[in-house]
Amino acid sequence: MKAPADLGAAEGLARIREGSLTAVAWTAACLDRIATEEPRIRAFAALDPEGALGRARAVDRGTVPPGRLAGLPIAVKDIIDVEGQPTGFGSDLPIGAVAARDAGIVALLRAAGAIPLGKTETVEFAALGRIPPTRNPRDPGRTPGGSSSGSAAAVAAGMVPLALGTQTGGSLVRPAAFTGVHALKPSHGLVSLDGVHPHAPSLDCVGWHARSVDDLALLAEVCGFPPAAARPARRLRIAACRSPAWSAAAPDMRAAFEAALGTLRQAGVEIVDLDLPPDFDTLGETQLVLMRAEAQVSFAPWRRRWGAHMHPDLAAILTEEARIPPARRAAAQAHAALCRIAFAEIMAGVDAVLAPAAIGEAPPFGTGTGSPAMNRMWTVLQVPIVALPIGRGAAGLPLGGQLVGPLYGDRDLLAIAGRVATILGAPAEAADGTA
């Protein structure tokens, strides 16, 4: 039988319902794991053990309204407000403050019975600047990716079964790929951004890391995502997209991707090659233009107040010289809209698209958080993405894929991802090797 800290969200909640586990025992086990692993991994910016245990005791006593997530320990990225806990934005600037109320998504999960244990490390403002000290639990000499560094690492290390993160470029999917866990980047606009520091509002999404597709789907249901469409039982049809960034993929990533396609074919999945229209070739650049233009608005108050003290990498994109001209921003918006329409037409002929989630294994710690080349295009399309492990690289570290679905088809995509994960036989493992 698994130790409580190694339980996935659905597993632990089932044990609580059947009476073989208490919320206090689960929460305490996660806090013990954090105490053991945090000196090595450094996933957390702040912790609230007393508050978490107090809420767990209330769950066990039944003094809080029962909910679907009653007793579930979670972690929250440090750009998302949690009442009574500090929001520091991953910054060394003296701007942090204890949140007076929960962000919208945290309030929703808390109302369902979830227990926030603490705030996870992030790249500064989930953008540019300070890189967090978080290490990859699979190999502490490697980065866990970013910007949702601590969230992915906490799940991978068995510190929590589920953690909230955000994505504006590739900040959920790439860390999932590097740490060997699962992630959902929802359709844009399905999760409230209230209480979440903005980066680029037309791209920003709150999502989550977990150890299984089932756990990803659990939160999608609690959040009230549109139900999956009724579909007749039939053979899956998945489009294999090597993406315009395929040339940047490492040989082991290419080999793992092709091997995954072969495994799916052998299981009866119909695989069709997807050659995207030429307009998609520069869609990654379009994402960057929109992200930079909107960041210049989102971070303007910080620049006015802290200009000379800001991290040079962040300050550099906020200068007048770096300002995106209105005509270029408008052209990028038009390009993105065109490609969103084209992608909806592509999705009418397939159940999902499978693409690499990163160019390879996690790079060495201290060299950044990895390339977002495989992520930008999909994020700007505003569609749902499920990240899942597809193999291991030359150094034995996880390699990830991403399943992409149609806009607002999140729960359909999760159902497909569950089937794909079962076929590939790639459940996320704790860093100690336990499934």
Paired tokens of 158: 């068995």
Q: What phi, psi does 153 have (nearest 5°)? A: -65, -40
For residue 297, count other CB atoms closer than 10 A to its CB: 12
Residue 405 in contact with residue 201, Cβ under 8 Å?
no
CA distances from 214 to 93, 144, 414 (A): 39, 23, 8
Which residues are designated catalytic?
Answer: 77, 147, 171
What span, in angstroms and rounded, lies between the C-alpha atoms of 120 and 432?
Answer: 21
- What H or E segment, with its residue span, contains residue 87? strand 86-87
Residue 408 in contact with residue 347, Cβ under 8 Å?
no
Specify the 3-state DSSP secondary structure of 184. Answer: strand
What is the DSSP code (8-state) at residue 131? P
Amino acid letter, residue 48: D
What span, in angstroms and rounded, lies between the C-alpha atoms of 5 and 18?
Answer: 18
What span, in angstroms and rounded, lies between the C-alpha atoms of 293 and 326?
Answer: 9
Paired tokens of 211: 């150890």
- What H or E segment, with its residue span, contains residue 38? helix 23-41
